């Protein structure tokens, strides 16, 4: 699996960065209900086949891209927040509590979470257009970030995870506003920086990416391709529908050759979702 560094130094699968870039350039941040509205299954299956070949095809519906990004996290053998116990998440009552808890995550999970939180913050920052505030985007991501066997327990824990994610998103948004205000104060003649600048915002307070040897959580998997159909993970879809409120009312790029590493599927450190890299 090829990995690249994002602009914060996090080691992230290159295919995720490619999908993020296409999502943004396709106007996904302003699409109403982004990450909440599901794309047609037929298109998603076609796109999965292309992604397995390292290609993000042109003309993809932004809702399809958003769904596949969520699916990548959902289909990991060990989800990003699985190292945290429900009790630990439940005890997070403040922003500082959440920040301290994130620092206990293994480096790989911390980097992936940092990337995901900034993605969610980008979405929430365009709430005026997409109708997705911090709570809404946290709600649709939460079931994909952790997994529990018992449905009732999973539902309760998902609500706690939603609040945890929402707190981290709001922290990033606040830091962006403070940074923009400070830049305007000290340089009134220049444009205020936006969230796409090189400014680093991190709920972790430091970059974990520089020390990573892998860019996906560890797990007993050798195959690192997308599942061929979305029907392989029905439980996850049910989890989202159980507690998410109703839905609120585009070329081909090959994997970049300058990715910082190409991981062997036989490596014990390199892991992708079973039979899938994304969804």
- Would residue 272 count as lying in a domain? no
- Predicted pLDDT at 106: 97
Higher-pLDDT residue of 137, 204:
137
Q: Would you say residue 257 has pLDDT above 90?
A: no
Residue with tokens 């081909």: 252
Q: Phi and psi for 191 in degrees, rounded to 5?
A: -75, 145
Query: How many Å apart are CA 147 and CA 22, to the nearest integer?
Result: 28
pLDDT value of position 108: 94
pLDDT category at 135 given cuts 50, 70, 90 is very high
Number of domains making up the chain:
1
Say how many residues make up the chain.
279
Mean pLDDT of the chain: 77
Query: Which stretch of 140-154, 157-171, 221-235 has the lowest confidence by average pLDDT?
Result: 221-235
Residue 279 lies in a domain: no
State pLDDT tens for residues 139-160: 999 999 999 888 888 889 999 9
Q: Average pLDDT for residues 159-178, to the nearest whole number?
A: 97
DSSP state letter for 209: G
- Domain contains 102: yes
88 pLDDT higher than 90: yes
Q: Give residues with Cβ within 8 angstroms of 95, minimum separation 6.
A: 167, 170, 171
Range of the domain at 167: 2-262
pLDDT at residue 247 tops 50 = no
- Model confidence pLDDT, tens digit, residues 66-80: 999 999 999 999 999
Check which CATH number belongs to the domain holding 118 and give it. 1.10.555.10
Residue 273 covered by a domain? no
Which pLDDT belongs to residue 269?
38
Quote the pTM value. 0.72
Residue 202 has a pLDDT of 44
Per cent of the chain over pLDDT 90 is 52
CA distance 205 to 207: 7
Q: Report pLDDT for 218.
A: 57
């Amino acid at each position: 699996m090829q990995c690249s560094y994002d602009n914060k130094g996090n080691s992230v699968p290159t295919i995720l960065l490619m999908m993020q870039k296409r999502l943004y350039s396709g106007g996904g941040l302003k699409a109403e209900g982004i990450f909440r509205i599901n794309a047609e299954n037929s298109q998603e299956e076609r796109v999965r086949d292309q992604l397995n070949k390292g290609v993000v095809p042109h003309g993809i519906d932004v809702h399809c891209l958003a769904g596949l990004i969520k699916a990548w996290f959902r289909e990991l053998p060990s989800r990003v927040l699985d190292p945290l116990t429900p009790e630990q998440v439940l005890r997070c009552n403040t922003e500082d509590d959440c920040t301290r808890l994130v620092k206990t995550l293994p480096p790989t999970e911390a980097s992936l979470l940092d990337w995901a939180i900034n993605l969610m913050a980008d979405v929430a920052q365009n709430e005026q257009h997409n109708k997705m505030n911090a709570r809404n985007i946290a709600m649709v991501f939460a079931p994909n970030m952790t997994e529990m066997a018992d449905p009732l327990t999973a539902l309760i824990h998902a609500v706690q995870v939603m609040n945890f994610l929402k707190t981290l998103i709001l922290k990033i948004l606040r830091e962006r506003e403070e940074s923009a205000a400070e830049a305007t104060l000290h340089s009134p003649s220049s444009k205020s920086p936006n969230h796409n600048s090189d400014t680093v915002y991190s709920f972790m307070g430091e970059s974990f990416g520089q020390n990573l040897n892998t860019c996906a959580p560890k797990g007993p998997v050798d195959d690192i391709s997308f599942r061929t159909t979305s029907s392989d993970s029905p439980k996850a879809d049910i989890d989202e529908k159980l507690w998410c409120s109703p839905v609120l009312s585009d070329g081909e790029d090959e994997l970049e050759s300058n990715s910082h590493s190409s991981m062997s599927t036989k490596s014990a450190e390199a892991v992708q979702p079973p039979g899938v890299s994304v969804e």
